[in-house]
Amino acid sequence: MFTEVIGFLIIIGVMIVVIIRRQFLKKQLEKNSFDTAANQMQQQFEDTADQIIERIGNEIDRLELLIQVADDKINQLDQKLKNIAVTKPIEEQKQSFQEILQESTRDGEIITKEPPTEILPKQVKLKVSKTNKLVFEMLEQGESLESIAKKTGIGKGAINLIREMYKLQKKV
């Protein structure tokens, strides 16, 4: 009977060792699967971030192209205004200015957030928005184009156009 009890205890001991080993291996396997899942998720995040960065880069390129096109249009309009100022009498300048303004806007509406206010110089009646007034003031204080562009959120080309308008305003 003693040998049977010892044999039974040995069998129970072996079973306990096998069960403990099995549990340990199971935990190791679960840990490895969590690590693998975490690594896969991290890789997916990195891939997604790369795609987002690429899209942002494409949008930046597109926006820079649009800014360049807008600056070119501003320069063309500025040139037209200069030609009008040099070649036509004051009354015709008013009409030509309105025509150019109509050409440069969508459906004849001025593209500004604020309604324009009127400034009455001696000879010519110009409409100037609040934003342009702010730029005029900054120009009078001697601020640089870059500084004005940063503070107002307006592009350098637009600031140049406003500066030219400011110069014409001062001459009149």
How many other C-beta atoms lie within 10 A of the C-beta of residue 81?
A: 19
Task: Read off the pLDDT of residues 100-134 as tens digits, 9 standing for 90 and up.
Answer: 666 555 444 444 444 444 443 444 445 567 887 88
Which residue in the block uniquely carries the two structure tokens 């005029």? 136
**Does residue 148 lie within any of the structural domains?**
yes
**Does residue 128 lie within any of the structural domains?**
yes
pLDDT at 20: 92
**Does residue 58 lie within any of the structural domains?**
no
- Whether residue 158 has pLDDT greater than 50: yes
Are 70 and 160 spatial neighbours (Cβ–Cβ below 8 Å)?
A: no
**Does residue 66 lie within any of the structural domains?**
no
The CA R_g of the chain, rounded to the nearest whole Å, is 37
Alpha helices by DSSP H, listed for the chain, are 2-87, 90-104, 130-140, 145-152, 156-171
**Does residue 119 lie within any of the structural domains?**
yes
- CATH number of the domain enclosing 139: 1.10.10.60
Domain count, the chain: 1
The boundaries of the domain holding residue 170 are 112-172
**Does residue 124 lie within any of the structural domains?**
yes
